Structure 1
Amino acid sequence: MNHLVENLKQIQNEIPKETILVAVSKTKPVEEIQILFDAGQLDFGENKVQELVEKQPVLSKEIRWHLIGHLQKNKVKYIAPFVHLIHSVDSEDLLKEINKQALKQERIILCLLQIKIADEDSKFGMEQEEAQRILATYETNFPFVKIVGLMGMATFTEDENQIRNEFRRLKIFYEKLKTTHGFTTLSMGMSDDYKIALEEGSNMVRVGSKIFGARNYN
C-alpha cells in the first residue's frame, strides 16, 4: 500500500467516525491528492488561493475543497464557484465580499468564523465579541453566506496545557452559540495538536504533514 494511504488510514483510525478529516495538501502535487482521493478521502484543505485554483480543475469534481489559510478579499472571486468551506473568515468585510461573490455564482457559500485563541500576533482571527455581533445580523445582511461553525488555531508551543485551554475556551464559546445559530462544525487541531483538539471537542481536524510528510517550499 502507498505510504500516503497508510498514513491516511492511521489518522482515520485515531479519530472518531463522525469527525471530518481535512487532508491539508498545500505545496503537494495533484498526483498525491489523487492517490488519497482514490483511497476514499474527499476533504482537502489549501492555504493559498492560487494553489487551490490550479489544483481544482484537474481533479475530481467530487472533492470538497476547504480554504484554511488567511483569505484576502480580492481573491474570493477565484474560489467562489467551487469552494466547499471557508475556514478563515476573520472580519465582517471579508464576509461581505464572500456574500457578493456567492450571489454572482448563485450559490450559498459555507463559512466558519475564525476566532483568535492563540497568544501569537501572527495568528489571524476575531475576538468573541465581534463574532457575536456579526452572527446577530449576518443572515439578513449576507443571505448567500451560511456560517456553520467556528475555527481556531492554538499557540505553537510545547505547553500542552496552554493548547488544551485555548481549545477548551473555543469549545465553550461554540457550545454557547451552537443551538441559536445551528452550528455543526468546530474546526480545531492540526498535525501537531489534533489529538488534544479531539479530546477538547473538535469535530473537524486539519492534518497535513502527518499524512503527506514534510512540506516542500522550494
Structure 2
Amino acid sequence: MSAGNPSQVATALKSVLERVAAAAQRSSRNHQPRLVAISKTKPVEAIQEAYEAGHRTFGENYVQEIVEKAPKLPSDISWHFVGHLQSNKAKTLLDGVPNLAFLETVDTEKLANKLDSTVEQLGRPPLPVFVQVNTSGEESKYGVEPAACTPLARHIKEKCAHLRFAGLMTIGQPDYSSRPENFQCLEACREEVCKELGLATEDVELSMGMSGDFEQAIEMGSTNVRVGSTIFGARDYSKK
C-alpha cells in the first residue's frame, strides 16, 4: 500500500493517535499514554494494515481469537489481553502468545496463582498484569470491588514471583462510556495501593478509557487506553 493511498484503518489510527497526543497535552499529568488497538472480531488483514502504518500494540478479548491471530502476525507486536480470563485457559493463552506483553484483567487470587505457576512452567519472563476493578458496581462487569484491589495487588506483588503488578484497569459505565467518577474511583484505588504497598504513583499504570471516552480518561490520568471500533470500524460479533 503506497503512502499516498493509506487504508481506512491507517487513516483512523493516525487520527486517534493525534487525539491521544492532544489529550495528553491538555492533561496536567506528565505522561504519554499507550494506545492499545483493540482488534476483537477483526481479521488479521486489518491488524496488518495498522501494523504497516507503524502501530505495534494490539489487544484482544477472547482467548480463541488471540491464539489464532498472534502466530499469523509479526512477532514484534505487543499483545494485551483485555477480556475475562478463566484460570483453566491461562496455559492456552500464555503458550499460544509468546509475545503477550500485558494481561489487564486479573480479578482473583486464583487466577493470579494460576498465571504465576504457568509463567514459571513455560519459562517465560515475569508477566506484567493489571488488577481489574469494577468501578461502576455493575453485576454484569468483572473485576474486584474497589476495596479489594489493594489486597489483590499485594498478593500479586508478594506471592506471585512470576508476575509483575503493573497497574489497575477498569471498563467503567454501561455501553463502554464512562463517567468521571469511574476514573476518579480508579485513581483513588491507585493512591491507596501505592500508599499500602510503598509504590511510586508513576510505577502504577491506570488502564481506563475506550473509544467513547479515551480523551477524557487521558486528561484524568490514564496511561493506557483501549480503542477498537474508532480504529477498525464497527464490530461483527457473529464472528467472535
Tell me which interval the TM-score lies in, with the shorter structure as reference length. over 0.9
Residue by residue, what CA displacement relative to the aligned partner does 1:31-82 show, whole Å, maximum 9, x if unpaired? 1101101111111010000000000111100001110010011111012142
Alpha-carbon distance in 1 for matches of 2:175, 2:72: 37
Alpha-carbon distance in 1 for matches of 2:51, 2:69: 13
Contact 2:209 2:225 in 1 (8 A): yes
- Structure 1 residue aligned with 2:9: 4
Tell me if 1:75 matches 2:79.
no
Tell me if 1:205 matches 2:209.
no
Residue by residue, what CA displacement relative to the aligned partner does 1:123-158 show, whole Å, maximum 9, x if unpaired? 110023322112334333210011100001111269
Contact 2:190 2:204 in 1 (8 A): no
Structure 2: give runs of 5+ residues left out of the alignment: 1-5, 25-31
- Structure 1 residue aligned with 2:129: 111
- Structure 1 residue aligned with 2:152: 134
- Structure 2 residue aligned with 1:92: 109
TM-score (norm 2): 0.84
Structure 1: give runs of 5+ residues left out of the alignment: none
Alpha-carbon distance in 2 for matches of 1:41, 1:184: 24
Tell me if 1:20 matches 2:34.
yes
- Structure 2 residue aligned with 1:39: 53
Alpha-carbon distance in 2 for matches of 1:170, 1:135: 13
Contact 1:115 1:128 in 2 (8 A): yes
Contact 1:157 1:163 in 2 (8 A): no
- Structure 1 residue aligned with 2:183: 167
Alpha-carbon distance in 2 for matches of 1:138, 1:217: 33
Corresponding pairs, count: 216
Alpha-carbon distance in 1 for matches of 2:218, 2:158: 33
TM-score (norm 1): 0.93
* % same residue: 36
One-letter amino acid of the structure 2 residue matched with residue 99 of structure 1: D
Alpha-carbon distance in 2 for matches of 1:165, 1:139: 27
